[in-house]
Amino acid sequence: MEEEPDANHRRRQICNSCDRPNPICLCHVIPNDPIPTNTEIIIVHHPHESRHKLNTTPLLTKSLRNVTRIPPRRLRRHHISSAGETSVSPPIRTIYLFPSSPSSPAVTISEFKSLNQRDISNPPPLRLIVFDATWKHASEMVKASEEVLREAGAVRVCLDTGIDASVSGGTIYDSELVLRKEPFGGCVTTAEAVARCLGAIEPDGEEIERKLISVLKEMVRLQSKFLKPMNPRPKLLKKRLQNQSANT
């Protein structure tokens, strides 16, 4: 099948709304009105990760109302001191998503919920911090943020599925949602991790999780279609994509 002469040109065009190349535009699945949440979400976004084409944080910032992306490699005090926070209002509980380690054990998000959110219809304000980076960078970022996390009384939480470091690569959801090989079994993309977390802790969690996962699924579907090996010149395409992400 022959491509139209200007197909290459069009492929490079970026959608104004979702900032993605037109063939993989996600505007038809991203909620028109960003979803409100009781949880304030802060994504500490490693600069390398934010340049990566398959990074999922932009899906979250476009789909959710109460999300802030911060670019530096570590959390600082001012990132988590909300302007509206007064001594009168109930204190905001802070949790951060990171796997358990012997020195810093994590509670699963379900355990956290059963311990802290007995009254699900009127949950206390919650702040969720997520580190979006490779495994190695995220460990460094958490380490560099330790003091601020400790001061905020932040509780380390992990997904109920946990991490199984004995399985290399892939995720338990890899039938549908794997975008890139992660270093350990049970690792998931940032958007999926946030979706699962909100699914567990938001009063309307199931619905929010379903919406976010459907955006992610569509991203995976389009991406796999676009990057299929049936493309006659995959190397050239790859190079073009690399140039594209380097230019953004």
167 binds Zn ion (CB under 5 A): no
Q: Is the dihedral of CA 81, 155, 110, 197 positive or negative?
A: positive
Residue 71: name the closest of 29, 42, 112, 102 by CA.
Answer: 42
User: CB 22 → Zn ion: shortest distance, Å?
Assistant: 8
24 binds Zn ion (CB under 5 A): no
By CB under 5 A, name the one of 18, 126, 129, 142 that touches Zn ion.
18
Q: Which is nearer to Zn ion, 18 or 178 (CB)?
A: 18
Strand 184-185 with 164-168, pairing? antiparallel
**What are the distances in angstroms from CA 43 to CA 76, 97, 137, 244?**
13, 10, 14, 24
Q: Which is nearer to Zn ion, 28 or 233 (CB)?
A: 28
Region binding Zn ion by CB under 5 A among candidate stretches 9-17, 154-162, 165-173, 197-205: 9-17
Phi and psi at residue 235, to the nearest 5°: -65, -40
165 binds Zn ion (CB under 5 A): no
Interface of this chain with Zn ion, residues 186 to 245, rule: CB under 5 A: none
Q: Which is nearer to Zn ion, 95 or 212 (CB)?
A: 212
What are the tokens at 17?
A: 């709304």
15 binds Zn ion (CB under 5 A): yes
27 binds Zn ion (CB under 5 A): yes
17 binds Zn ion (CB under 5 A): yes
Phi and psi at residue 199, to the nearest 5°: -55, -35
User: CB 17 → Zn ion: shortest distance, Å?
Assistant: 5
What are the tokens at 148?
A: 């601020």
Residue 157: name the closest of 202, 194, 114, 105 by CA.
Answer: 105
User: CB 140 → Zn ion: shortest distance, Å?
Assistant: 33
Instruction: Give residues in contact with Zn ion (CB under 5 A).
Output: 15, 17-18, 25, 27
